[in-house]
A and B are shown apart, each in its own frame.
Chain A
Amino acid sequence: DAGVIQSPRHEVTEMGQEVTLRCKPISGHDYLFWYRQTMMRGLELLIYFNNNVPIDDSGMPEDRFSAKMPNASFSTLKIQPSEPRDSAVYFCASWRGVRGYTFGSGTRLTVV
């Protein structure tokens, strides 16, 4: 298995632009999580899905953030419009309900 695959690895965008981050979870994992990591705030859970259904989006910072999971093998996190304070590393993780989460390598987002 290739693990959790995130794209792109790095994204640099201008303030006000739309940003879309992508994630392919491990096949058979029915939970998918989006986390954001910054030096100041550490790892924050943004939203998670179970069987493609959003369960808890209480960590989404504001309406500029949205996430979808149209099928079991794909999820997106969209920021529109982006702001400099959105600069962070965004991680996707998947889980099959036992043991620990499997994380992707992350997308480093820089908004200038």
Chain B
Amino acid sequence: SQQGEEDPQALSIQEGENATMNCSYKTSINNLQWYRQNSGRGLVHLILIRSNEREKHSGRLRVTLDTSKKSSSLLITASRAADTASYFCATDNQGAQKLVFGQGTRLTINP
């Protein structure tokens, strides 16, 4: 399997703190994406970073990509209770049209 692997599997922090999740993958990629899944819902696309990019920002989200280490991180700053969800990384290393998802990080923000 060429799935990405997220670390940690679960993360619990206080509201207002920053949350960092990591993703490692196995082969070369064109891009890496992060998705959020609220309980009982479908996945929502958060951000895409291309293989020639090292960092990308979107609101309170910051994504980094290190292709030499085949790893990515997602930072959520100033976390809110509404950020409680599972976060998945996905890579296209099996072809540009086909995304392979990791197992996810379950993030809990405590009020």
Interface residues of chain A, those whose CB is within 8 Å of chain B, are 4, 31, 33, 35, 42-43, 45, 48, 50, 55-56, 91, 93, 95, 99-106
A selection of 28 A-B contacts at a CB cut-off of 8 Å is: A4-B42, A33-B98, A33-B99, A35-B101, A42-B101, A42-B102, A42-B103, A42-B104, A43-B101, A45-B99, A45-B100, A48-B98, A56-B98, A91-B42, A91-B43, A93-B43, A95-B97, A99-B45, A100-B35, A100-B45, A101-B43, A102-B45, A103-B42, A103-B43, A104-B42, A105-B41, A105-B42, A106-B41
Chain B residues whose C-beta falls within 8 Å of the C-beta of A31 in the assembled complex: 97
Q: Does B44 contact A (CB under 8 A)?
A: yes
Contact (A43, B48) CB under 8 Å given A48-B97, A91-B42, A103-B43: no
Q: Report B34 CB to chain A, min CB distance, Å.
A: 9
Task: Report the interface size for chain B: residues with CB under 8 A from the other chain.
Answer: 20
Query: Which of A43, A95, A102 meets B88, CB within 8 Å?
Result: A43
Find out whether the CB atom of B48 lies under 8 angstroms from the CB atom of A101.
Answer: no
A105 to B35, CA, bound (A): 14
Find out whether the CB atom of A55 lies under 8 angstroms from the CB atom of B42.
Answer: no
State the main secondary structure of chain A at its contact with B.
Answer: strand
A50 to B98, CA, bound (A): 11
Find out whether the CB atom of B42 lies under 8 angstroms from the CB atom of A100.
Answer: no
Chain B residues whose C-beta falls within 8 Å of the C-beta of A99 in the assembled complex: 45, 48
Q: Report B56 CB to chain A, min CB distance, Å.
A: 13
A34 to B100, CA, bound (A): 12
Q: Report A7 CB to chain B, min CB distance, Å.
A: 13
Q: Report A41 CB to chain B, min CB distance, Å.
A: 9
A104 to B37, CA, bound (A): 11
Not counting A33-B99, A100-B45, A103-B44, a sample of 14 additional A-B residue pairs whose C-beta atoms are within 8 angstroms of each other reads A4-B42, A42-B3, A42-B103, A42-B104, A43-B88, A45-B99, A48-B98, A50-B97, A91-B43, A99-B45, A99-B48, A100-B35, A104-B42, A106-B42
